[in-house]
Amino acid sequence: MRQRLHEYLVGRPAGASPDELLDLIFTSPGRDPEFGRRLLTTLLGADPRFHFDPGADRWRARIHDALARPLGETTFVVVDLETTGGAPTPEGIIEIGAVRVAGGRLLDTFARFVKPAHPIPPFISRLTGITDAMVADASPIGAVLPQFLAFAGDAVLVAHNAAFDVAHLNAAQQVLAGRPVDAPVVCTLRLARRLLSHLRRRSLDAVAAELGVACFGRHRALPDAQIAAEILCVFLERALQRGINRIDDLLDFQRAAVDGRPFIVHVPRARLEDVPPRPGVYHLLGADGRLLYVGKARRLRERLGTYFTNARGHSARVLDLIRHTHDFRITETGSELAASLLEARQIRELKPPYNRQRKHLPRVGFLKLSVRSAYPRLWVTERLAADRATYLGPFRSRDAAERAHAILGRLFGLRTCAGALSPAPDTTPCLSGQVGACTAPCAARVDLPSYRGQVDELLAFLGGDDGPLEWLRARRDTLASDLRFEAAARAQRDLELLESLRRRQQTLAWVVARQNFVVLLPTLPRDAALFYAVLGGRLAVEVRITATVDLAAAVRLVRERFGPYQGLPLGREEVDGTTIIAAWLRDRGAGEGILLPLDGPDAIIDRLDELTVTIRDLRLPGPLPAIDGLA
């Protein structure tokens, strides 16, 4: 435990409050603050590696005591390297440029060519202007690096994207002295992320342009170091305006996340190199191996990489998850649909503490037509529910669903207000009823059979009746002939939306329309096929097929469950899978899975030979097969 806290404080030069350290020890809320402080005193007080600063109410690692000095009394050495490219190696540096900064002024400079071990690539020569002839008589890095370190002395090193420059310096110093460069490092790129958060690009050129710093001689070491030094001087002034007065506070500030605490990742970024850029599910694990979070990704490497990047979009909850994550494991699924379904099942079964209920489900908009009420109402929802309501969709967003909601409610005169209805002639209708957008059953202006007829007209329209579209086209033409062009344009937009809605309802809404089909997907590696059967609007069968016996079991389950699943409302445990299937149908591209409609329980028997061939082909590398009758 002490070692863990020491490692944390080593990464936080300005120290950490007792509450911050206790957050690393205890993950559950409700602890006793006084007990926590006594615990830290007992745990750390006698350890010489720690000391408590009562004035700042912080615990500190003693190795950072020398950094508790004012920025105005600190000397900086801004460095830039030109290299042959590629990974950091001792032989890759071809030029070192540096400038000393103190008291807000640029002082003496350092500039040396370095003779590399290999010829300079043509691209690097074109970029920097440095040729093999220019470095032919230069000293090797073994002679130049000690000269630079003597120039730097005990100053704070600074670079733009310091991770690059320091990695090359460390690689060389490791070979020469058996240890990395021993100096605190300030990165002007990291400072730009905090002080110029509005910038989309934070390259040296972009930051210099934002601050009005002239750029001359770019892509040579000393000119680039001088540009970065000018930027540093501006950033130091802005840091002082924010109350950052000491170098240890500046080092913490550049590493801080959006919540002001340091952005610390316990998992080495090198672990990402073994992660494939393919669909799958990942588990984030705590220091003791406990499961913290389950997520899915279209590309696992990119998604996991976001946890290693100090992004301003991280919420407080995500930052807390990152700070407690010490390892991860992955499961490749072969498709995003399989990843989504596996994620939902594991969240439901494993209940990881950092997963919020249903937050993992895709954002899907639906229109819902209630059936329990005598006067059904139409409203927008983002989730399918375990009921017998009629759902329209899925829409790409809630906004799109709300547009369709407004048009359908007005076109068919349906009520959109919430609450139970008790029709009475003395009731004052809501605004929709007053302007005629609703037939106002609340005020008894329409009887029950007539209102039911309005609902039937909506369902008939969705089934293919063109009457409402023809009426809307005629209205558009009439408005245009009356020179009411804005109203005609609105009618045209309404017409286009309704046509799109009906196409979506007829081609994408198999799930919510209670239809039946099979989805076949390949796995990675291609040693199996995934078989999903949607029956009665819910995911009813899920089988991994590796042999004929698995296919026989899947077919048997489909036949057994087909009839019983047709009239049942969705069960609570079935809603997640149904929502995921609906979003996949909405978004799937060409070649993403094979669909087989099922007209009855024996339809799957009639296509058994084609199923067998398809599954065999799915287990072979290459694109998905195209088979007659399969969408």
Strand ranges inside 445-575, DSSP E: 517-522, 529-535, 538-545
Helices (H) and strands (E) in the chain, counts: 23, 17
For residue range 453-497, what is the model confidence (pLDDT) as tens digits?
Answer: 988 888 888 777 888 888 889 989 999 998 888 889 988 988 888
For residue range 338-350, what is the model confidence (pLDDT) as tens digits?
Answer: 898 899 889 988 9
Is pLDDT larger for residue 592 or for residue 520?
Answer: 520
How many whole angstroms separate alpha carbon 293 and alpha carbon 419? 38
SS3 195: helix
How many whole angstroms separate alpha carbon 501 and alpha carbon 393? 7
Q: Distance between terminal CA atoms of the chain?
A: 58
Question: Per this entry, what is the length of the chain?
Answer: 631
How many whole angstroms separate alpha carbon 372 and alpha carbon 374? 7
SS3 108: strand
Most confident of 283-287, 535-539, 613-617: 283-287
How many whole angstroms separate alpha carbon 381 and alpha carbon 401? 8
For residue range 543-581, what is the model confidence (pLDDT) as tens digits?
Answer: 989 888 888 899 999 999 998 888 666 666 777 777 787
Has 405 been annotated as catalytic?
A: no
The dihedral sign for the CA sequence 61, 65, 70, 73: negative
**Omega prior to 525 cis, within 30 of 0:** yes
User: What's the gap between Cα 575 and its chain centre?
Assistant: 24
Residue 589 confidence (pLDDT)? 67
SS3 38: helix
Which of 81-90, 255-264, 581-590 is the least confident region?
581-590
Residue 150 confidence (pLDDT)? 96
Active-site hit among 219, 283, 314, 405: 219
Residue 32 has pLDDT above 80, yes or no: no
Structure tokens at 326: 């010490």
Residue 212 has pLDDT above 90, yes or no: yes
How many whole angstroms separate alpha carbon 422 and alpha carbon 425? 10
For residue range 280-304, what is the model confidence (pLDDT) as tens digits?
Answer: 999 999 988 999 999 999 899 999 9
* Band of pLDDT at residue 627, cut at 50, 70 and 90: very low
Query: Are the beta carbons of 175 and 182 closer than 8 angstroms?
Result: no
* Domain residue limits, the chain: 2-67, 71-255, 269-350, 400-507, 517-618
Is pLDDT larger for residue 161 or for residue 465?
Answer: 161
How many whole angstroms separate alpha carbon 610 and alpha carbon 518? 13
The CATH T-level fold of domain 71-255 is: Nucleotidyltransferase; domain 5 (3.30.420)
Most confident of 8-12, 21-25, 207-211, 521-525: 207-211
**Which residues make Cβ contacts (< 8 Å) with residue 253, sequence separation at least 6?**
191, 194, 239, 242, 244
Q: Give mean pLDDT, residues 37-52.
A: 88
Which of 19-23, 167-171, 211-215, 248-252 is the least confident region?
19-23
Domains 71-255 and 269-350 share a fold: no
Query: Are the beta carbons of 316 and 322 closer than 8 angstroms?
Result: no
- Architecture of the domain defined by 269-350: 3-Layer(aba) Sandwich (3.40)
Closest CA to 279 of 205, 336, 354, 323: 336
How many whole angstroms separate alpha carbon 130 and alpha carbon 220? 8
Structure tokens at 89: 């190696």
How many whole angstroms separate alpha carbon 237 and alpha carbon 195? 11
For residue range 101-130, what is the model confidence (pLDDT) as tens digits?
Answer: 999 999 999 999 999 989 999 999 999 999
How many whole angstroms separate alpha carbon 504 and alpha carbon 510? 10
SS3 443: helix
Which of 340-344, 384-388, 539-543 is the least confident region?
384-388
The dihedral sign for the CA sequence 575, 581, 582, 584: positive
pTM over 0.75: no
**Which residues make Cβ contacts (< 8 Å) with residue 438, sequence separation at least 6?**
409, 410, 413, 414, 415, 416, 417, 429, 430, 432
**Token match 């207000």: residue?**
417
Residue 352 confidence (pLDDT)? 92
Residue 418 has pLDDT above 90, yes or no: no
Residue 474 confidence (pLDDT)? 92
Question: What is the percent of the chain where pLDDT is above 70?
Answer: 91
Query: Are the beta carbons of 577 and 384 closer than 8 angstroms?
Result: no
Is pLDDT larger for residue 28 or for residue 24?
Answer: 24
SS3 366: strand
